[in-house]
Chain A
Amino acid sequence: MTDQMPVTSPVLEMRDVSISYSGIIPAVTGVDLLVRPGEIVGIIGESGSGKSTLAQSILGLLPETVKISGQKLALSGVDLLAASDSTLRNLRGPAAAMIFQNPMTTFSPLHTLGRQLMDLLWRERHLSTLEKRQMILVALQDVGLPDPAARLEAYPFQLSGGMLQRVAIAAALLMRPSLLVADEPTTALDVTMEAQILHLMREIRNKAGVSILMISHHLGVIAELCDRVAVMYAGRIVEEGPVETIFADPRHPYTKALFACEPALISDTAMRLPVIGGEVPRPVDVGCGFAGRCSQVLDCCSVLSPPWVAVHNTDAPHLSRCHRSAP
């Protein structure tokens, strides 16, 4: 036995993780999630499905009133459920770096970007200011930011959202993280910017081998970028599998409904746009959270929790949490 971790050990491992606000209001229930080295995993779901809460729990960024419980929540092999504040602080950055939704508010409006990037490199105490500056310039160049030296003197409001998101990605990459958590990184950007940022993220994975956990409500983004996808609904992962099989053959009624609502997939002759009636409910203890909105609901759906079953059992299993998926 050695302490050396095997090469295939996951970057992020969640087993039966539940998160609740003040211990009363559940946001996430019983989530199992695995991100392996070099893998891009997507989490898709509506607003309120708990995906952002899940993303922030990975870096321990949720407020103190939030309770996280479960069997395991491990980042680079370190269990966060038992980690002290200082352990957690040391993991932030090198173990997992995060990119946020709105690049316009990611940085302080009152400090130059150079000042802020310097502060993010607080770990590199052995480096001189000049060396750090050089590191930052290289990182900014790598993400394709034009004229990086001038940007260091600039304030966030002087840059566009797309440029700021590049700066944010550069900052994250400066940490040389094992995992990049991207919480809707392109939602606030226009379409051409979105394409460029997605391209950049794929490049990061291919060149640096960084694993990426991509949170999005945009099917196109997930299809474009991810290897595997987990569909989240009302705090639970209801379907998970390789992107190709899920997009080709969605099994959970919620996933099917979600795909039916994707504007790009709706036929031109449709008279009405398809919608999923109702709202996302709070996570439920009994039965299926989607039962109230499901068009294929069975009698057992509201009383029996649906099983987590494999629908395609290849080396990358495709799983669905539905009574109808059960054999």
Chain B
Amino acid sequence: MTIFVIRRVGLAAIILLIVAILLFSMMHLIPGDPTVVALGPRSTPEMREAFREMMGLDQPILKQLALYLGRLAEGNLGEDVWSRRPVLTIIFEVLPYTVTLALASFLWAVTLGIFLGCLAVVHHGRWPDWLIGLLSVGFVAVPSFVVALYSLLIFAVSLNWLPAIGAGAPGDIVGQLKALVLPSFAIGLGWVGYVARLVRAAMIEAMGENYTRTLRSFGVSERRIIYRYALRQALLAVLSVIAIGFGGLLTGSVFAEIVFSRPGLGKMTYDAVMSRNYPLVMGTVLVTSALYVTCMIIADVITAWIDPRVRSAL
């Protein structure tokens, strides 16, 4: 198991290295002279030459790449173009907001989704199944920003139960939790439907397996077959999809963050792209890639933990 994790982490490092190289090449493929962007169009050729020398842009490209990767290895993702603050610091300032939002959204959505999926299978072919099917499709179909706007109108503006914007004052746990409710609802709702559909389909498949027939032939109750046996197989099937979805949420939910004026990776990346803040964009891409591969590693470990066949093959 330890070797398995180490191998996975090694693989993740290689993936991140490739991402970094791609990012570096992209920077050089972007049209325009970086020195003009940095110094402005009125700068003299001498000033640009001096700047080029200072930034190492006059070096051969492979050497530049080596320097860039070397800085990355030290944890230096460069400086923000406008504020001159380290990119990593800026990212780590907003990351907690994004992670809490992603966790909160996913926790309730996946729990409810699995529950509804099971419920649909227990009542397979009868009205609860139909109702859950209908709701699931509805949840998936409605875009999260629509849910965000409506929930904002109802619960924050009309009823005034919950804050409309922001993430809560630092130190104010209750306020922060309150500020989490509406965004996580807006983001999670679609996932409830998605997970419910996935779990239902995977469970129905599991219920058709030979081993469930064996259990049934011994008079084992349908309930136990569903919750102890079929559910485990179903979770295995939906795990990787859920992990990818969670990775996606970690990279930020732009809509929810904009609607609720919440700090977060999504909104920050959006702003950085719009203001051509390349070091910040590159830094965020690297960090989100790292978060993605971490999710996949965790999913792989959970898979190995659930499935003895995978475990033994390690």
Is B214 within 8 A of A157, CB to CB? no
Q: How far apart are B278's CB and chain A's nearest CB, in angstroms?
A: 48
Please tell me if B14 contacts chain A, counting CB pairs below 8 Å: no
Q: How far is the CA of A157 from the CA of B307 in the complex (A)?
A: 11
Is A119 within 8 A of B228, CB to CB? yes
Q: How far apart are B163's CB and chain A's nearest CB, in angstroms?
A: 44
Please tell me if A59 contacts chain B, counting CB pairs below 8 Å: yes
Is A157 within 8 A of B308, CB to CB? yes
Is B216 within 8 A of A61, CB to CB? yes
Closest to B212 in A: A108
B195-241 CB contacts (< 8 Å) to partner A: 209-211, 213-221, 224, 228-229, 232-233, 236
Q: How far apart are A78's CB and chain B's nearest CB, in angstroms?
A: 14
B209, B220, B224, most chain A CB atoms within 10 A: B220
Closest to A110 in B: B232
Is B215 within 8 A of A155, CB to CB? no
Closest to B225 in A: A119
Complex interface: chain A residues within 8 A of B209 (CB): 105, 108
A105, A109, A123, A175, most chain B CB atoms within 10 A: A109
Q: How far apart are B211's CB and chain A's nearest CB, in angstroms?
A: 4
Map CB proximity to A onto B163-176 as digits: 1 under 8 Å, 0 otherwise. Answer: 00000000000000
Q: How far apart are B108's CB and chain A's nearest CB, in angstroms?
A: 26
Is A122 within 8 A of B221, CB to CB? yes
Please tell me if B309 contacts chain A, counting CB pairs below 8 Å: yes
Q: How far is the CA of A171 from the CA of B220 in the complex (A)?
A: 13
Map CB proximity to A onto B75-88 as digits: 1 under 8 Å, 0 otherwise. Answer: 00000000000000
Is A106 within 8 A of B219, CB to CB? no
Using A109-B309, A110-B307 as known contacts, say yes or no to A98 and B224 having CB atoms under 8 A apart. Answer: no
Closest to B219 in A: A92
Please tell me if A312 contacts chain B, counting CB pairs below 8 Å: no
Interface size class of B (residues with CB under 8 A): 20 to 34
Closest to B124 in A: A64
Please tell me if B312 contacts chain A, counting CB pairs below 8 Å: yes
Q: How far apart are B57's CB and chain A's nearest CB, in angstroms?
A: 56
Q: How far is the CA of A155 from the CA of B233 in the complex (A)?
A: 14
Q: How far is the CA of A168 from the CA of B218 in the complex (A)?
A: 11
Using A102-B210, A109-B308, A158-B312 as known contacts, say yes or no to A93 and B233 having CB atoms under 8 A apart. Answer: no
Closest to B214 in A: A106
Please tell me if B153 contacts chain A, counting CB pairs below 8 Å: no
Is A93 within 8 A of B213, CB to CB? no
Q: How far apart are B233's CB and chain A's nearest CB, in angstroms?
A: 6
Q: How far is the CA of A94 from the CA of B220 in the complex (A)?
A: 12
Q: How far is the CA of A47 from the CA of B210 in the complex (A)?
A: 18
Closest to A92 in B: B219
Neighbour of A122 across the interface among B216, B219, B232, CB < 8 A: B219
Q: How far apart are A80's CB and chain B's nearest CB, in angstroms?
A: 14
Q: How far apart are A169's CB and chain B's nearest CB, in angstroms?
A: 12
Please tell me if A254 contacts chain B, counting CB pairs below 8 Å: no
Complex interface: chain B residues within 8 A of A90 (CB): 219
A225-262 CB contacts (< 8 Å) to partner B: none
Complex interface: chain B residues within 8 A of A111 (CB): 228-229, 232
Is B217 within 8 A of A122, CB to CB? no
Q: How far is the CA of A109 from the CA of B313 in the complex (A)?
A: 14
Closest to B306 in A: A110
Using A105-B210, A109-B308 as known contacts, say yes or no to A89 and B221 having CB atoms under 8 A apart. Answer: yes
Is A122 within 8 A of B224, CB to CB? yes
Map CB proximity to B onto A118-159 as digits: 1 under 8 Å, 0 otherwise. Answer: 011011000000000000000000000000000000010110
Is B229 within 8 A of A108, CB to CB? yes
Complex interface: chain B residues within 8 A of A155 (CB): 308-309, 312
Please tell me if A97 contacts chain B, counting CB pairs below 8 Å: yes
Complex interface: chain A residues within 8 A of B306 (CB): 110
Q: How far is the CA of A181 from the CA of B51 in the complex (A)?
A: 86
B209, B211, B221, most chain A CB atoms within 10 A: B211
Please tell me if A21 contacts chain B, counting CB pairs below 8 Å: no
Closest to B311 in A: A155
Is A92 within 8 A of B308, CB to CB? no
Please tell me if A290 contacts chain B, counting CB pairs below 8 Å: no
Using A105-B209, A119-B228 as known contacts, say yes or no to A92 and B309 having CB atoms under 8 A apart. Answer: no
Q: How far apart are B210's CB and chain A's nearest CB, in angstroms?
A: 4
Residues of B within 8 A of A (CB): 209-211, 213-221, 224, 228-229, 232-233, 236, 306-309, 312
Task: Please list 5 pairs of residues, one from A and one from B, whose beta carbons are closer than 8 Å in the complex, sorted by A's number.
Answer: A100-B213, A106-B210, A108-B229, A110-B236, A111-B229
| Given A93-B217, A120-B215, A158-B312; 15 other pairs, CB 8 A cutoff | A61-B213, A92-B216, A92-B218, A105-B210, A106-B210, A107-B211, A108-B215, A108-B229, A109-B308, A109-B309, A110-B229, A120-B218, A120-B220, A122-B218, A175-B218
The 9 closest A-B pairs by CB, nearest first: A92-B219, A105-B210, A155-B308, A108-B211, A120-B218, A98-B217, A89-B219, A93-B219, A93-B218
